[in-house]
Structure 1
C-alpha cells in the first residue's frame, strides 16, 4: 500500500521542485501518493487548524527544503504541527546544486537528506 504524503514547502521559492516531487508519485515504482501540501491562498479561519486536519489523512510529511526555507514561517509551523501530531517526517534537500536550509523549527538532529529516487523511496519507507 502506498504511503500518503503531505509536502511542506516554501511556496514563494520552491513551487517548481514541489511539482517535480509530486510528479514522482506517478512513477510505476513509487511508494507514495501525493495527498496534500502547503497552501499559498489564505485559508479562512484558523489555517493551522486546517493544516492539522489535513495531516490527519497522511502517513508521512516531507519537508522540502530550499534556499530560503529558514525564512518560511508556514513551513516552520507545518513542521511543528507534524511533530505535535506525531507524524513521521523528514527533511529533503530541494536542490543538489544550491545550499538548502532547514525550517526554523527543525532541530539540530533533523538530518537534511539528499533527494535521489533511491533515497526518497527509503525515506518514505521509514529508513531514516
Structure 2
C-alpha cells in the first residue's frame, strides 16, 4: 500500500495512505484513476471496432476495466513500513532493512524511518507521527540499547495511538536483547520471519 492517488478539492495530491490493495484512501475511493479511465477508453475503442455502436463501446470498455483489474490483481501489493531504530547506536540496521526491502520477492516497502529526536529537528515528533500514520506497520529494529531509546519509545507510543501494527525483530546475530516495552513479541531476523510478519 502506498499513498492515495486521489486529488483534493483544490487539485493537490492526497497525503493519506491508500486502503490496502486499492489506489485510493477511504475519502477518495469513488475517484477513477487515469489508468482505469485509459483502460476503459481503450476497451471501448476496441469494442466499437469489433462490434460498431454503443453496445460494442460499453462492452469493450467494461472488458478493458476488467482486464486491468485482473492484471493489477496479479501484482504483489507491498505493505508500507516505518522503521524505528536507536538512531544513536544502530543506524546501520536501517541500511540493512532497506536492502532487504529491495528484494524482488519482498512483501514490504520502507516508506519512512526514525529521525533524530534532538535539535535541530524541533518538529521531529510531528514528522514522525505523520510518517507512522501513513504506514501499515512499524518495524522496530532491536539492538542492545533499543529498549530504552527515547525516540523508539515515543514512536512505539505513536503507533499504538494510531492503531498501527508493530513488529520488533532482533537486529544482530549475537548478544542478549531486551524487547522494547509495549511493542509485542521479539522475533529473530531472518527472511522467512520478515516475509511472514511484514506481508
Q: TM-score range by the shorter chain?
A: 0.7 to 0.9
Aligned to 1:124: 198
Matches within 5 A, 1:77-88: 77-88=154-165
2: CA distance, partners of 1:56 / 1:9: 17
1: CA distance, partners of 2:143 / 2:79: 23
Q: Please state how far the C-alpha of 1:102 moved relative to its aligned partner.
A: 2.3
Aligned to 1:113: 187
Structure 2, unpaired ranges of 5+: 1-76
Aligned to 1:10: 86
Q: RMSD of the alignment, in Å?
A: 1.4
Q: TM-score, normalised by structure 2?
A: 0.58
Q: Please state how far the C-alpha of 1:96 moved relative to its aligned partner.
A: 2.0
Aligned to 2:13: none
2: CA distance, partners of 1:83 / 1:57: 14
Partner secondary structure for residue 13 of structure 1: coil
Structure ranking higher in strand proportion: 1
Structure 1, unpaired ranges of 5+: none
Question: Quick one: which of 19, 23, 35 aligns to 2:111?
Answer: 35
Structure ranking higher in helix proportion: 2
Partner secondary structure for residue 89 of structure 2: helix
Aligned to 2:22: none
Measured against aligned partners, the alpha-carbon deviations of 1:14-56 in whole angstroms (never above 9, x if no partner) come to: 11122101110111101111110001264233x2222111112
Q: TM-score, normalised by structure 1?
A: 0.87
Q: Please state how far the C-alpha of 1:124 moved relative to its aligned partner.
A: 0.5
Q: Please state how far the C-alpha of 1:71 moved relative to its aligned partner.
A: 2.2
More contact order relative to length (CA 8 Å, sep ≥ 6): 1
Question: Quick one: which of 76, 95, 98 aligns to 2:175?
Answer: 98
Partner secondary structure for residue 16 of structure 1: helix
How many aligned positions are there? 121
Aligned to 1:58: 135
Measured against aligned partners, the alpha-carbon deviations of 1:56-103 in whole angstroms (never above 9, x if no partner) come to: 221111011110112201000000000000001111111121112223
